[in-house]
Every structure is written in C-alpha cells, then in structure tokens.
Amino acid sequence: MENFLTRIVIKLLSTISHLSWKTLYRFSDLLRFIIFDIFHYRQKVILTNLKNSFPSLPKATIRKIARKYYQNFTDIIFETIKLRSISKSDLLKRFEAESDILDLYYAQKKNLVVVAGHLGNWEMLNLFASVRFRYQMVVVYHQLANQTFDNWFKDVRTQFGTEMVPMQKAFQSAVSPRDKPFLFILINDQSPSPERAYWTTFLNQDTGVFRGVELIARKLNAPVLYMGVLRNNFKRGFYKFYFKLITETPKQEPTNYILQKQISFLEEDIIRQPDNWLWSHKRWKHKRPQVLHRDQTLEVKEKS
C-alpha cells in the first residue's frame, strides 16, 4: 500500500512540474495559507529562531519577516517540483551569477571546495551550476528515508550532470580522482552532534557547526569559497549568487578558521535578507557542552 501511494505521489509531482510558473505560484500561495495560516506549521520554531537571532527587532518586524519566509518556503517547494521538467534555457534565465573567480581557478585546473548555507533555492542553484559552469559539480546531500522519493529527487538533481554524494561518503568521494576539475559543494548550516561540532556565536546564539568542511578542505588543500545566494525581491523564482574566497591554503590556516569565516559570511547574508534563510529548521536544538576539546574551538595563533 505504501509503495502504491508513493508511486501515485511521484506521478503527481511529475505532472505538476509541467505547469506554468504562474500556476505553480498560485498553488504556492494556497499551500502557504493552508500550512502556515491554518495549521501554523512550525510557527513557534520560526518565531523563536527569529526573536533569538534579532533580539532588538520589534515583534511587528519579526512577524513581517516570518510572513515573507512562509511565502519563500512554499515557493521553494513548487520551484523544486518544477525542476523535474525544467529546460536549460529556462534555468539559465533565473540566475544572475558573479562567478569570474571560478573561471580563474578552472584555467589553473584547480579543484575547489565550496561551502554554503540554506539560502534561496539551493536545489535550483545546483542545476544552474551544472549547466553554466565547466566544473564537475559534486554535491553532498542527506539521503531520504523513502528510497523511491530519494531516487526521484536524485534524478532531478543529477539530470544535467551533477554528482550527488551521500553525507556518509563525503570524505571518500572528496579524494576520488575525476576526469576534470570539480567543485565539492557542502551545505553547512545544519545542527551537528554537539560533542563533535565547532562552537561559535552565530546570530547572537551559541551555535555548533559541522567540521567536515574543515577536514575535507585540509585533505584536498584546495581553495575554499563561500557561496552566497540572494533572492530577487521583485520577481519570484529569480536569484543572484556570488562567491567569496575564504582561503587558498587550508592546511596553513588556524583550526576552524574556515568554518568561522563561512559562518561570518552566512550571517552577513542573513542579516542582509533575513527572510531568505531556512528558519523552520531546529538549528539551535543542541546546547554547547560545558567542556570543549581543542578542535571544537577557534585556534588563535600568536603573531611571530
């Protein structure tokens, strides 16, 4: 019965993907009304995250940000469904890219580690990058529990050449040889195990950060870039993204320097466009341990 229902849903998603953008956004408005206005989906989590992140903002402003986030959240759902049948030409129209730095490194045949947060529609950006850039895209992802849905989403994500790597195999995949230079992309703003995380202050709160980016970057000793994504405030489904260099020499940086720079850049983007981040995620569900190991803190090197 479960497999039958899953196949029905998959068929429905594929059918919906062929609808026009205008129709999809009408469905998005309806879904936003149902899940947020009627059922108040994770409303407490969203408002608490916003209040703790922006303690100086008045309640009316917090609710305004939350309201805009609700719309963005359901827009991403339908935009992602649309990716099942999107054309390359349609995809290329929807992003403005500041990416000259990639061309410079590609000419040097350098692999790159790219770290990002849940800004904008990261699924759409993945497909755009695989069409637009000469690099091999390698994206680390969390597998879904339902194998049929996982396969459907994987087909969507890889249709233009992206290589998807389960999180458990990220390190092994990072050091595997490939036929051309690659971008190793990690979304690094989830909530990690507190006993193994790097701990810092992010959006006015104690925050743990996955250390995998740091370890992979040091192993590859490849340049590390932060990727920011901004939403077009006037046209739904349109985005801009850019890159900032974190370091060209990961092995020479203090422990957790890469993570601290990434989290600082991400914070700047969230403050710049607060409704554009994933506020419904339980980002701060873990507390900072009373005692931290050396590799859980930012190393401070004395000046020579």
Give pLDDT tens digits for 123-139: 999 999 999 999 999 99
pLDDT (0 to 100) of residue 300: 83
Which is nearest to 228 in space by CA: 128, 99, 136, 87? 99
Whole-angstrom Cα distance, residue 154 to residue 230? 25
Q: Which residue has the higher pLDDT, 1 or 97?
A: 97
Find out whether 113 and 216 touch, Cβ atoms under 8 Å.
yes
pLDDT (0 to 100) of residue 146: 86
pLDDT (0 to 100) of residue 223: 97
The helix/strand/coil state of 298 is: coil
Whole-angstrom Cα distance, residue 202 to residue 275? 16
Q: How confident is the model at residue 217 (pLDDT cuts 50, 70, 90)?
A: very high
pLDDT (0 to 100) of residue 129: 95
Which of the residue ranges 69-73, 100-104, 142-146 would you say has the lowest mean pLDDT?
A: 142-146
- The reported pTM is 0.95
pLDDT (0 to 100) of residue 4: 79
pLDDT (0 to 100) of residue 154: 93
Q: What is the pLDDT of residues 285-299, one digit of tens each?
A: 999 999 999 999 999
Q: Is the pLDDT of residue 303 over 60?
A: no
pLDDT (0 to 100) of residue 222: 95
Residues of the chain above pLDDT 70, percent: 98
pLDDT (0 to 100) of residue 2: 58
Which of the residue ranges 16-25, 79-88, 295-304 would you say has the lowest mean pLDDT?
A: 295-304
Whole-angstrom Cα distance, residue 212 to residue 215? 5
Q: Is the pLDDT of residue 236 over 60?
A: yes
Find out whether 17 and 85 touch, Cβ atoms under 8 Å.
yes
Q: Is the pLDDT of residue 304 over 70?
A: no
Q: Which residue has the higher pLDDT, 107 or 7?
A: 107
CA atoms within 13 A on the CB side of 97: 19
Whole-angstrom Cα distance, residue 278 to residue 260? 20
pLDDT (0 to 100) of residue 3: 79
Q: What is the pLDDT of residues 8-50, one digit of tens each?
A: 999 999 999 999 999 999 999 999 999 999 999 999 999 999 9
Q: What is the pLDDT of residues 46-78, one digit of tens each?
A: 999 999 999 999 999 999 999 999 999 999 999
pLDDT (0 to 100) of residue 1: 55
Q: Is the pLDDT of residue 195 over 80?
A: yes
Whole-angstrom Cα distance, residue 29 to residue 70? 9
Whole-angstrom Cα distance, residue 88 to residue 60? 41
